[in-house]
Structure formats: C-alpha cells, structure tokens
Structure 1
Amino acid sequence: MIDTHTLKKRDLYLNKLIAFKDTEPVKVITGIRRCGKSSLLKLTAYHLKENGITADQILEMNFESHAFKNISSDDLYEYVRQRISPNKRTYLFFDEVQRIPNWEDAINSFRVDFNCDIYVTGSNAYMLSSEYATYLSGRCVEIKMLPLSFSEFLSFHGFEVRETKSALGGMRKQAFDKNGEHYEISEVFDAYMRFGGMPGIADVGLEQEKALMLLEGIYSTVIMRDILERERRRGQKRISDPILLKKIVMFLADNIGSNISISSIGNTLVNEGLLEDGKRKGMPSAHTVQAYVNALLEAYFFYDIKRFDIKGKEFLRTLGKYYIVDIGIRNYLLGFRNRDTGHALENVVYFELLRRGYDVSIGKVDNAEVDFIGTKADEKVYIQVTEAMTSEDVRKRELAPLQKINDNYEKIVLSINPGMNTSYDGIKSINLINWLIAT
C-alpha cells in the first residue's frame, strides 16, 4: 500500500492525468529531475485504487531502480506480458522510461497488443521530439510538470494563508504554520525566492546547508546523467566537455531575463576570460554553443522564450530570453545575494504563467518591450513585472509599453510594492504575491 502521508498532493497535475484516464493516448509526464514526476505516478496509482481498480491491475516500474538496470525493450515487453491482467484493463506506470534503449518499441507494442492504460515519465524532451514523435505521433498527451508554485510551496511547507485584520482596520493576508505561529506572507515569499520550489526542500526544511546539498544533487544529476551520459548513450560527441557546459550554465543563470543570442554567449565567455579566444585555442563554434544550450533546454533546466512583434503580429528571430526552471538552483549556482531582483521576479512569473496554461512570449511594441504576453484560446494578457511601483520614473517606464498597445485585452503590472493605486488608465497594478496565490 502506498504511504500517502509522505506524498503531498499536486492537484494541478493529478487532475490532468485523471481527465485522460482510460483514453487511448499514452500519458507522458515530463519535467526536470526531482520535480515530482515519480510521486505523481504514485498518487495516480493510489487514486485508481481508491476508485475500484485492484492491485493486480496496476504494474509500476521505476527504471532508476537497480532491479531494472540492464533491461532491454524486449525484456520489458516480456516482463509486462507475463503480468498483464488477462480479463481486465491493466494500468502501466513506467518511471524514467528513457533509460531503456528503444523503449518506444515496447510502449507502442503494449498500446497495440494489450488492454492497458499507459503512464510514463521522462526527464528529457529529446524522448518526445524524436523517437516518440516517430512512433506515437498523435497518440500521446504530454503533461508538463514544473517545480512548486508559490501556492504549492506554502502547502508543502505546512503554511495556511488566512486573512487577518491590520492595525488600520483593513484586511491582510498572513501565513500560519502548523503550530499556529504566523508570519507576514512576504517573509515566506522571501524563503521561496531563496530556496526555490524543488519539492525535496520540504523534506529537509528551510535550512540553507541542507537545501544547498539537495540542490547540488539535482544539478549534478541533470548535468552528469541527463546531459553528458545521454550524449554517450546516443553515440554523440557534440557535448563532451563538462567544463564548457558548466560555464554556459553559469552564464545563462546569471543572465535570466536578458536578451541573449547564441553568438553573444560565446563572445561574452571569451571577453570575460572564461573561454580562450578561437584564434589562440579552439573557441567553440556557434553550432557547439547551440548544441550545449539545446541540451540544457531538453533537460528542462532552462526554458527559452521568443519575442513577438505586437504591431507586426509576427514572431521575431532575434534575441530571445532564457529563464531557469528553479530560482533555488540559480541561487545554488551563483550564491545567495541580492542580485537583479526584477529578473528573478520575472522568472517566477514566467513559470506561473506556464502553470496556468498560457503560451508565453516577450512583447515588442515599437522600441519598447512588454515582459510577457500570455495567450490561450481566445484569452490574452499583457504583463509587466517590477519590484516596486512607488517611483514615478518606474511607473512611467513600466506603463509606457502597455499604453502603446491598442487592443482591449487585460494589461497588468505585477510588483512586490504596488503603491496605493490599483489602476492607471485601465492598466491594473497588482501585488505580485497576491497574484501568485490567487486561485
């Protein structure tokens, strides 16, 4: 029996999986290592048992386990064939399936040969972009999993948000822990901005030394196993230099939210003395830098975001931006210190928009920039992110790009300190923390 006391709910993702239960598509859960994919599989299996599915109808395999260390796709097929329920539907759960060579052959055969419902996880987008697209085009649905949102962070760390009366008679939100101690919600948000949203932090607690050890383990696993080892398994030699890989990681982590091109990465590393100039000693080509960046994107370590010309209504090929999947990992890499808070807040807002189902781009309007355009179905929202809206200069800077947009979609400025005004000519000014915890 699964010990659900140690598993904390991730309803955003669990509800998506439940919605696809007993449908033909293979359910593929993707995301960076240790973001909660394995726990989500266990929660899904537990949900099935709670709703009448018997234990013999559920088969769970974790390919990180030594028990399946050298299993082939043929072995996997035979293992499952011997355990399939003959007269009932079987629910198959495969964790980190990309570790099996030619895994897609077995998965496709299960789908064709057996009465089954298939759930798999993987820590690399390559599995979907190439093999999976070939074998299961149109027959899989991807659930993209991210580290904890701020709302989930509150829940995982045992905080409950309640409204209390302020000294001035108004209402304010505070965070209460299990012992009834209460904190300003901004204090808890500071912890989120410091330690990030990897679920394992909740197990070790908000202690810097333990948190750093956990984040170091995640970083090392992603870099060494998911990138360098995968390249060796694929027989590729493009990404073979762990030192260069780390330098590119450090550069991208230090420049989240900045306009970046592949050539600018190489040039900056040379100018800062981190790479030798190509004239003297083999500077990596733009193709090499691109390959390393692509590997980091495939491992869900960084996410890239394109620019959209709002007036020209087209995506631009120049200068996108990168955001790191977890702000705690960034702090592990660069050290705990106050740096470019605005970009760090942007990072948090970007991933929150993804969680809420938006396609996200950067907006260009004339020579100005809108931090984010979020679109889904017939909905669109324009968002600026800044630390505070109390200075008149900052207000002018943040409002100007939004004021240039002539449509009727929602326009918002999110800030930690919005000041007194809640609206500027129809542009909403919202407390960023309240926006994050709004349901």
Structure 2
Amino acid sequence: MLRRKVFWERVKPFVGTELIKVITGIRRCGKSVMLELIKEELRDQGVNPGNFISLNFEDLANRQFCTAEALNEHLEKAIVPLEGRVYLFLDEVQEVAEWERCINSLRVKYTVDIYITGSNAKLLSGELATYLAGRYVEIAITPFSFTEFTELYRTLEPELSVADAFQHFIVFGGMPFLHNLQYKAEPSYQYLRDVYNSVILKDIVKRNHIRDVDLLDRIILYVVANAGRPFSATSISRYFKHEGRITAPETILNYLRACEDAFLFHRIHRQDLMGKKILTVYEKYYLSDHGLREAVYGENKRDIGLILENIVCMELLRRGYTLTFGTIHDKEIDFVAERRRERIYIQVAYLLASEETVNREFSPLLKIRDNYPKYVLSMDEFDMSRDGILHRNIRDFLMDQGDVS
C-alpha cells in the first residue's frame, strides 16, 4: 500500500483532536485507502485497533444505517463497551441522510476521533452543515501524482525510465486501482469507463435528480474534449444550437456545477492581471484524472498540449495552490498559482520547437512587472531559460517533492 505522504502530512496535525477529519475527492481516487493508511499510522503509535469502528456506506450490508437515527443507534451500541478514545471511520458518508446530526451528537457525547470520506464537494454545505461549523477540517484527495504513479509502476518494471513512465502516465492517468490491473490497456480502460459511468450516475445524476441524462452526457463530453480551453456556458449553448439542440446557458451552468461537486472537473477562473480582478466569463475546466479522458474520449497523445496542462493543473492543486489563469493585454498565462503569500506564474507547452513558439510562451510572462517567479514548462530536455524566466522540463517539475523551484 503506497503511503501518500503529502496527504498524510495534512491529516497528521489533526489526529487525536476533536476536529472531524473530512476526506473528499472523486470516486475511486484513494479515499478508502487513505482511511486504511490512517489506521496503520495509529496502530504504529500504539492505538488499540479494537477501538476502531469502520463502516462503508456503499456496502449493501450497511444500508440499514443510512439514516441519522439508525446510524446513531448502531454506533452508540458499538462505542459504549469500549474504553478510552474511540476512532470512527465512515466511508462515503453522503449516503446517510442527515449524517451531520449523528456525527455532531457523537462528537459531543463521547470521546471520539472521527474520520469521514465523501465524493461530493457539497458534503459540508447547506443547513445541516451548521451542526459542524468550525468543528471539522477538510482534506481533498486526488488521484496519484506522477511521482506516485512512477513509484508503483516500477514495482512491475523496476528498470522503467522516468521518460517511459511519463508516456504511460499520459494515457493511464493516476487512478490507484490500475496498479492491480498491472496497467494492461483493455482492463484499465474498462475500469476507467466504469468509474466514469459511476461518477455520472451516482454522484451527478442521482444526487442532483437530473432527468435529461443525454444533455448531461453531451455537456461532459464537450468539456472533456476541450479541457484547458477557456469557454463559457453561452458558448456551449451556441455550440449545441448549431447541432439543433436549444439549451439555456443557466441549465448548462447547473450541470457543470454538478460535475464540479462530484470532483469530475475543476473550474479555474480567469484573472485580469492588470486590473487585479477575478472574471467569471470564459473559465477553464480540467479533469480530476486525465486517464478518464483517454478511456471515454481517447486522443490524449494527439491532444498532448491539453493533457500536459491538465497534468500540471492537478499537480498544482495537489501541492495546495489556489489557481486562476491570467490575462494581460491580449496575452494569456496558463496558471497563476498562489499559496500562503507565495505566487508563481506558469506557462505549459509541449515543445519549444521554434523561435515563434518560444516567443509565444515567454512573451506573456515578460509583460508581468512583479518579482514573483515565472516558469515555462515543456518536454524539451535543454534549459531555455531567458530574461529571468525559468524553463524546466515538465517531468522534472512533476518529480519535485512539493515545490516548483
């Protein structure tokens, strides 16, 4: 079991505290494994595993506990006989109606350390979440990084080079279970298609009571095909109109929000770097896992520029950055990444194969007059840094342990 150090370090400060640890992320990205890693760490610290209580609410055997009252009754019966602190691990808790009421009651009544997972960004929104206001910490989990992917792949092919590993990563993405399939193409793509369909049916259609599933499919495929390209709901509406389907922009926005809530996509706002304003027209969407794109749409290697940008986006989010994409005059900067008073600007390209391409990627960064670091990332092996702008090979950037520089 791969120890996901970056996420464990985010959980670790809150272990043993009364704060509820809420682990979120797209379905099958490794949330359940994260719970097992936490249990393992607790056992290493001398915690009695007899004080662990675990429930997965996607298990039909636990369907009887999918109301706050039933769950509370079951857990109280399990907690009362135990001595000392009790550790609760509740997987996919969004399946429990009004689960917040139960969790808050247990938190108040007993000495418990609570860990929950969920596949929806609105897990802690709405009226019921007021029960837990200020009493939880959220840790967002993502599929494997390139570093994690390479570490696992090398258990199958120990001599695999970083360059070859990256070629596999481009098509397979980072869903953890693919390692169990030994990254064989057909089983892997079948699994990814099943994950994709499960996210749509369980986390988008069912949760949001969507009736027009065909429209949802069309919107999702549009975004999948155009990941990393700026567009608006109005532009999608016009596109559908040309295909003979009239769809209101507001409907499209609602469906896109449902996809975001299920962590299928991550939306990146546009920032006017001259006026220092966040703009809500023409945003970008990136997939949580680009392997899903290969499985349901294909062409990852053909659209290599989009895929590289998607990979960098997810890596920056994994490292804890807040992202926008910038515009300055008529130029665009792929990522403006901010984290704890730190800011970096990043351009992503496939290859800097000509002076024209070099100018296209470097010139927007030259227009920014502040002193924050500026980077161009590409697949080129030679350092093309110039005019204070650093050029890095994208694989080297991805293999860094948490920092860009």
Q: Helix, strand or coil for the counterpart of 2:228?
A: coil
1:12 CA displacement? 1.3
Matched residues in 1 for 2:132 and 2:33: separation?
25
What code does the residue aligned with 1:66 have? L
Choose from 392, 399, 403 the match for 2:355. Answer: 392
* Corresponding position of 1:169: none
2:364 equivalent in structure 1: 401
Q: TM-score, normalised by structure 1?
A: 0.88
- Partner of 1:218 in structure 2? 195
Instruction: Give the direction of change, closer, same or farther, for the CA distance of 1:420–1:57 in structure 2 (3 Å limit).
Output: closer
Q: CA offset at residue 317 of structure 1?
A: 2.2
Looking at structure 2, the residues matched to 343 and 15 of structure 1 have their Cα atoms a distance apart, in angstroms, of 31
Q: Distance in 1 between matches of 2:275 and 2:383?
A: 35
Corresponding residue number in structure 1 for 2:241: 270
1:82 lines up with 2:45 in the alignment? no
Farther off after superposition, 314-323 or 127-136: 127-136
CA, structure 1 residues 374+52, in 2 after alignment: closer, same or farther (shift >3 Å)? same
Taking a change above 3 Å as real, the CA distance of residues 337 and 125 of structure 1, as seen in their structure-2 partners, is closer
**Cα separation, 2, equivalents of 1:383 and 1:222:** 31
Deviations, residues 265-285 of structure 1 (Å, cap 9, x unaligned): 1211232x2xx34xxxxx232
Q: What amino acid is the match of 2:30?
A: G
Residue number in structure 1 paired with 2:391: 429
8 Å contact from structure 1 (residues 418, 429) kept in 2: no
- 1:242 has 2:237 as partner: no
CA contact (8 A) 2:144 2:175 kept: yes
3-state DSSP class of the match of 1:318?
A: strand
C-alpha contact 2:203 2:262 (8 A) present in aligned 1: yes
1:254 corresponding residue in structure 2: 225
Aligned-partner Cα distance in 1 for 2:128–2:305: 38
What is the CA distance between 1:177 and its match in structure 2?
A: 3.1
**Structure 1 residue 298 and structure 2 residue 266: aligned?**
no
Kindly state the Cα deviation for residue 132 of structure 1 after the two structures are TM-superposed: 5.5
What secondary structure sits across from 1:94 in the alignment?
strand
1:29 is aligned to 23
Say if 2:270 and 2:324, in contact at 8 Å, map to a contact too.
yes
Partner residue in 2 for 1:308: 271
CA deviations on 1:382-439 (whole Å, 9 max, x unpaired) are 0000011231001100011100011111000000115343x20110010000110012
2:157 to 177, 190, 213: 177
Deviations 1:216-249 (A, max 9, x none): 11011101111112234xxxxxx21221111111
SS in 2 for 1:200: helix
Q: Distance in 2 between matches of 1:221 and 1:83?
A: 32
- Selected match of 2:173 from 196, 206, 211: 196
CA contact (8 A) 2:270 2:280 kept: yes
Distance 1:435 1:189 in 2: 12
What code does the residue aligned with 1:76 have?
L
Aligned CA RMSD, in angstroms, stands at: 1.5
Q: Deviations over 1:72-128 (max 9, x none)?
A: 211111111111155411111100000011111101111111111110000011212
Q: Secondary structure at the match of 1:153?
A: helix
- CA contact 2:293–2:300 (8 Å) conserved in 1: no
TM-score (norm: length of structure 2): 0.95
Indicate whether 1:53 and 2:47 are aligned: yes
1:367 and 2:337 are equivalent in the alignment: no
Structure 1 SS opposite 2:221: helix
Q: 10-19 or 117-126: which moved more?
A: 10-19
CA distance in 2, matches of 1:83, 1:133: 25
* Structure-2 residue corresponding to 1:167: none
The corresponding residue for 1:208 is: 185
Q: How far off is 1:309 after superposition?
A: 1.4
